[in-house]
Chain A
Amino acid sequence: MGGTGMEKHYDVVIIGAGPAGLSAGLYAARAKMKTVILEKEKPGGQIATTDEVANYPGSVEHATGPSLVERMVAQCDEFGAERVKDGVKSIDFNGDLKVIETESGDIYKAKAVIVATGASPKKIGCPGEAELTGKGVSYCATCDADFFTDLEVYCVGGGDTAVEEAMYLTKFARKVTLVHRRDEFRAAKSIIEKVKKNEKVEYLMDSVVEEVYGDGILEGIKVKNVKTGEVVDIPASEDDGTMGVFVFIGYDPLTALFKGVLDMDQTGYLIADENMNTNIPGVFAAGDVRQKVLRQVVTATADGAIAAVMAEKYIEDKFHA
């Protein structure tokens, strides 16, 4: 991929440019540390594709995910953090200088590393899902909602994201059915109150999607009631020819790179203390990638700030003392 194979030295390398990484970048650069943020895709992480971020303090006007990301990126750039679009291929955290090799072949050497790789949407794991992704199965409402204008959509999940995105989808779809495996939602009460007033939203409780099917395009789903065991086939209406399934059932942490190196829990979330220290001195974890109770933009940015400050302190003690 046009790699230069160059060796580059930094005080702090941040992996991931979501809210945690951008916040860490801002704090690290502001502390005059030579800082780079590596991001393989778009800056912003999950919120880059979130329609509304209404619960981040101060995010009132233009409270869309992309506009919030844009402001975070601008602020981060202004303080002098570099941002590079490149994925991380391998890591070596054994030495005093941590080594990161990227997909384009560059080698980064850093005094401290902040892992802010985040998490990606969890898949249902049912037959047909992989084949029909982008063919009616989606994990991104802002990307794909438009295709389902006047069609029927099934929205899977019961948390804040599922319910909020279901409401967003009603702006496009003829009908949105929330499919949730329990008999009540986990989403915040205010969000549930709002969705209950929306006449376009219907509910399939105690239910899971068991199969999605179609010939090159989603033509129907099979939904199982977890209490009765009954399976119902829901085909797309003949006039429509297709339908949508949007999946918001949580996230998987992006930690495959760090297996056997950084301590993680059974589901792969990195274990770090309240100062974002991992088991390796000089390596910090911040944001959704970390094992914690609340995964929100506000906790991600807080993690990022703490990680950057602790990284600065670590570098000061270790290299300049």
Chain B
Amino acid sequence: MFILDKDNFEQEVLGADGFVLVDYWSDGCEPCKALMPDVEELAAEYEGKVKFCKLNTTNARRLAISQKVLGLPTITLYKGGQKVGEVTKEKASKAGIKEMLDANL
């Protein structure tokens, strides 16, 4: 998965043409760490269709808030730099993410 930070987010996510999925997580978020392997599996499954990225919000709090993300885990799907789908908290499961992807692809 591509590692985002506050310097490359604009270019890699908002400036990208196709589908970009962002896994918002942080060091203190245990549910995020538990979810990460599932997201990595999905990244392999959707390779070539969706660019999978992750952003550690610990060092990018303002950036996350600017994307209206104030809770973790949150998985957001962008297309052409626009948010087209989002799952958060208990809906941020492997099945929930897959459902969001399949509804948009």
A49 at interface, CB cutoff 8 A: yes
Bound complex: CA A148 to CA B64 (Å): 12
> Given the known A-B contacts A41-B31, A146-B57, A147-B57, are A133 and B95 also in contact in the complex, defined by CB atoms under 8 Å?
no
B residues less than 8 Å from A218 (CB atoms): 70
User: In the complex, which of the residues B30, B34, B89, B93 contacts A134, with contact meaning CB atoms closer than 8 Å?
Assistant: B89
Q: Would A142 and B29 be within 8 Å (CB), given that A133-B88, A242-B65 are in contact?
A: yes
Q: What is the number of residues of chain B that contact chain A, defined by CB distance less than 8 Å?
A: 29
| Distance between Cα atoms of A134 and B41 in the complex (Å) | 24
Chain B residues with Cβ under 8 A from A217's Cβ?
65, 68, 70
Interface of B is mostly: helix
Chain A interface size, as a band, is: 20 to 34
Interface-centre pick from A43, A65, A217, A218 (highest chain B CB count, 10 A): A217
A136 interface contact, C-beta 8 A: yes
Q: Which residues of B contact A41 (CB under 8 A)?
A: 31, 34-35, 93
Task: Decide if A134 touches B69 in the complex (CB within 8 Å).
Answer: yes
With an 8 A cutoff between CB atoms, is A256 at the interface?
Answer: no
B: residues with CB less than 8 A from A are: 26, 28-35, 41, 57-58, 61, 64-65, 68-74, 88-90, 93-95, 98
Binding site for B on A (CB under 8 A): 1-2, 40-44, 48-49, 65-66, 103, 120, 133-140, 142-149, 216-218, 242, 244
